[in-house]
Structure 1
Amino acid sequence: MKTQVTGSRPDGAPEFPLDSIDIISPDHYQKNGYPHAEWTYLRKHHPVFYVERPRVDPFWAITKAADLKEISCQPRLWLNGPRLAVFVLDEGADGLPPELPLRHLLNMDPPQHGEFRSILSQYFTPRSIRALEPDVANITAQLLDDVMDREECDFVTEISSKVPVAVIAEMLGVPRKDWPTIFRWTNEIIGGGDPEFQRGKDANETFAQARMEMFQYFTDLVEESRKHPGRSVTSVISNAKVNGEPLPALELLSYLLLLVVAGNETTRNATSGGLLALIENPEQFRRLKSDPTLIKTAVEEIVRWTSPVIQFARTAASDTVVRGQKIRAGESVCLFYPSASRDEDVFDEPFKFDVGRNPNPHLSFGIGEHFCLGANLARLELSVIFAQLAKRLDHAELAGPVERLRSSFVGGIKHMPIRYKLKPA
């Protein structure tokens, strides 16, 4: 017989039983957003918490920043490969989700991870990324110009989703006519469990179809890049070698897929969530508009506040202990990044949105060897976008309900209608 343990929510809502606490259901995330009340309680009382739920492989929930850092910085003890993240099996689906037919940085362990990461590491340094600033600024300005004479728009579909997909597509050498297709594939790969993006009977079928189409598309691009090498990221990866050998087809195509998806989804959702935070905290928006020097700290606060990647999993290579709790070899932990970025032991007033917060040691880009390869690019894009919004956006308010993605992996906003007034560039 299970013991019913209950805890009071920080928001004063009724108590809840821990044996049914919901921190992983995609339906919960779509309906309610991030479960910050539950994470707050777990951080205080059960920071290493065993979760057994229907249609989910059991896992240990890690909610404290210190534990997340410790696990992330021991890649030989805590493996990426066996389990990328915690996923919930859709109702009616047969069996557990199959292993994803991908081999990329997110599910590689040492030494292979370092060998593959080094292929592009020089292209994502702060110095290399700064060269993209004029292009990002032009793309952003044009998108704002396109909606300047209107009073309402869907900020996600018309602004925040278009900047990162344009930037990463340019870097990859994808022709402009194919950008909408690239954008559709990213929605289907990340949001295949959402009815709006689903093709086929379930998320797995949607993912498989999008993956196959994207692989076919990039196979042609890779072939062209090998015949006529250029400066695009696709050409660099296509002609790269690891241990003296060209990249195998699965690893090469998986690398490109990861760049497309990660280069689009995280920045898009940080942008959408960032504007939502500024609308909900108008005093902070006024502060940012009156002091442009706050852009850098504002971007870090937006990334902390939104934490677009919700979780990744790690699997113990041997028996170990986390915060006094024994975890056996083969058991998985789930690292909840938004919880770590609200940790009371790290942040003063963690539930206050503060565009001037400094220091801001958030973990939303990860930490350790799997620290986000594209973090510098994301920071540049967000800096440009919010600098232009601070200059040009006189006023903004919600013009309808915010629709969230049905996902417990990426915290996405699908639609955010706003009413606004924009100034010319």
Structure 2
Amino acid sequence: MQAQADNQAAKVSGTPPDLTNIISGDYYQKNGYPHAEWTYLRRHQPVAHIEHPRTDPFWAVTKAADIMEISKQPRLWLNGPRLAVFLLEEGEEALPPEALPLKHLLNMDPPEHGEYRAILSRYFTPRSVRALEPEVSNITTQVLDDVMDRAECDFVTEISSKVPVAVIAEMLGVPRADWPRLFRWTNEIIGGGDPEFQRGENPTDTFAQARMEVFEYFSNLVAERQKHPGNDVTSIVANAKINGAPLPMLELLSYLLVLVVAGNETTRNATTGGLLALIEHPDQFRRLKREPGIIKSAVEEIVRWTSPVIQFSRTASQDTMIRGQKIRAGEAVCLFYPSANRDEDVFEEPFKFDIVRNPNPHLAFGIGEHFCLGSNLARLELEVVFRELGRRLERVELAGAVERLRSSFVGGIKHMPIRYKLNPGH
């Protein structure tokens, strides 16, 4: 459980742990986040050179200040060359250059990134997102009504996965009958390294198959929206122009793919991890129930605590220095956001889950050029879900083992059986 990892981190000694755990999907699946390793790195090697036989070398960056410095210099630190650090499976070959990922919001650099981001930026402002609250509340109510009379459920498959995929599907104009397909595709794209979601010979095959099916699905939807535009996000992207020209089809489809995956996976895992934190800290759940007005600060602490996006990479465009360490042009750094969100130089008692923490300058949504476009939507979804859970539940506990995703990119929980008792009147 994550509480165990946090306790280990709080007691970490000067003896170096196995630092390759920070990029091992097997480790994350068995143990949760490697907080002991990150704590060691923050204290002893905040910019550490990591080598592993199944990936290219990289510099692990674990301090919040350094991650902020890198993220605010997008021309010095490029997104394009390497999105994140992934380990190849035994016997799996690296993709040839011609098969590398297509351009999309996550791997674009300025000025192109800003032009593409602007297509939808006004639809994700706080005001625009707040207008979605009735729809998010309606979806959440329906999802909870379906399971709350049973006393037990798998929180992931029956609650936390259903709300965000329904919200993003509604925004995209995807028919309700196709929502389960979106959910399956996002699992395969993010969790292709996990045997439960793998359907190719290896993660690369799984990703390629899922991406092909997403592209095929949305190419049909895009064609229809180009002929008959509506008010949904697919219509906006399908008819957008950059410098007077329509988006190339593959980039348009990649844009929608990122929206589907980012709009589902991260919020789902913050929701699941947030409830797990409240179960492990029942005093905090009782306080949230007593004081529903603290929901916004509770959501910020849940996001800090869970940090569902584990890491992204940047590549140096020229020789430079980070914390006195020379990084040569072409070398990659890997930014570990959960480590930044436990940084002792930023947070008082960083291993304490405190739903009224103030200030709470976490980096769970990133910072700088690539700050999460959907952060306001994620916050709204989390607010609505946890407000409703606090209103309905008298108590909640685990009813079985928590099963984690085999991934060092997104900190996912695949299954979390819970047992609960409703408040009188629910």
- TM-score tier, shorter chain, comes to over 0.9
Q: 1:13 to 1:416 in 2, by over 3 A?
A: same
Does residue 1:200 correspond to 2:200, yes or no?
yes
Q: Is it true that 1:416 corresponds to 2:421 in the alignment?
A: no
SS of the residue corresponding to residue 388 of structure 1 reads helix
Q: 1:16 to 1:188 in 2, by over 3 A?
A: farther
Letter in 2 for 1:126: P
Aligned to 1:302: 302
Aligned match of 2:85 = 86
Partner of 1:248: 248
Q: CA deviation at 1:96?
A: 5.6
Aligned to 2:32: 33
Cα distance in 1 for partners of 2:24, 2:91 equals 15
Offset at residue 52 of structure 1 (A)? 0.5
Give deviations 1:360-391, integer Å, cap 9, x for gaps. 00000000010000000000000000000111
Letter in 2 for 1:405: L
Is the CA contact (8 Å cut-off) linking 1:75 and 1:109 kept in structure 2?
Answer: yes
| Structure 1, unaligned runs of 5 or more | 1-8
Structure 2: 5+ residue stretches without partners = 1-7
Q: Distance in 2 between matches of 1:113 and 1:10?
A: 37
* 8 A Cα contact 1:77 1:318, kept in partner: yes
Verify the 8 A CA contact 2:17 2:36 in the aligned structure 1.
no
Identity %: 76
Aligned to 1:112: 112
Tell me how far 1:102 sits from its aligned partner. 2.1
Q: Distance in 2 between matches of 1:114 and 1:23?
A: 31
Q: Tell me which residue corresponds to 2:335.
A: 335
- Contact between 2:77 and 2:314, CA under 8 Å: does it hold in 1? yes
Q: How far 1:257 sits from its partner (Å)?
A: 0.2
* Amino acid in the other structure paired with 1:404: R
Aligned to 1:70: 69
Match of 2:5 in 1: none
- Give the whole-Å Cα distance in 1 for the aligned partners of 2:408 and 2:134: 35
Distance (Å, rounded) in 1 between the aligned partners of 2:162 and 2:123 = 22
CA separation of 1:300/1:97 partners in 2, compared to 1, >3 Å: closer, same or farther? farther
TM-score computed with the length of structure 2 as normaliser: 0.96
- In structure 1, distance between residues paired with 2:192 and 2:56: 20
How far does residue 250 in structure 1 lie from its aligned partner after superposition?
A: 1.2
Q: Tell me if the contact between 2:279 and 2:285 (Cα under 8 Å) persists in the aligned partners.
A: yes
Structure-2 residue corresponding to 1:45: 44
SS in 1 for 2:234: helix
Structure 2: how far apart are the matches of 1:174 and 1:386? 26
The change in CA–CA distance for 1:48 and 1:14 in structure 2 (over 3 A counts) is closer
Alpha-carbon distance in 1 for matches of 2:282, 2:388: 17
Matches within 5 A, 1:350-369: 350-369=350-369
Please tell me whether the aligned partners of residues 229 and 235 of structure 1 are also in contact (alpha carbons under 8 angstroms): yes
Kindly report the root-mean-square deviation, in angstroms, between the aligned alpha carbons of the 2 structures: 1.4
Structure 2 letter corresponding to 1:403: E
Look up the match of 1:378: 378
Scaled by the length of structure 1, what TM-score is found? 0.96
Q: Do the aligned partners of 1:343 and 1:350 also contact (CA within 8 Å) in 2?
A: yes
Q: Relative to 1, partners in 2 of residues 1:348 and 1:15: Cα closer, same or farther, differing over 3 Å?
A: closer
1:101 CA displacement: 2.9
Query: SS at 1:218's partner residue?
Result: helix
Question: Counterparts of 1:62 and 1:421 in 2: how far apart (Å)?
Answer: 43
Distance in 2, Cα, partners of 1:270 & 1:232: 26
Q: CA contact under 8 A between 2:12 and 2:36: conserved in structure 1?
A: no
The AA in structure 2 aligned to 1:59 is: F
Mapping of residues 384-423 of structure 1, within 5 Å? 384-423=384-423
1:162-311 to structure 2, matched below 5 A, reads 162-311=162-311
Cα shift at 1:18: 5.7
Partner amino acid for 2:27?
A: H
Q: Structure 1 residue 348 and structure 2 residue 357: aligned? A: no
CA contact (8 A) 1:47 1:62 kept: yes
Q: Corresponding residue for 1:6?
A: none
Q: Which amino acid aligns with 1:266?
A: T
Deviation at 1:29, TM superposition (A): 0.5
2:127 matches 1:124: no
Alpha-carbon distance, 1:94 to partner: 2.5
For 1:226 and 1:402, the matched residues in 2 are separated by: 44
Number of aligned residues: 417
Distance 1:21 1:103, change over 3 A: closer
Q: Deviations over 1:397-422 (max 9, x none)?
A: 00000000000000000000000012
**1:269-307 deviations in Å (ceiling 9; x for gaps):** 000000000000000000110001110000000000000
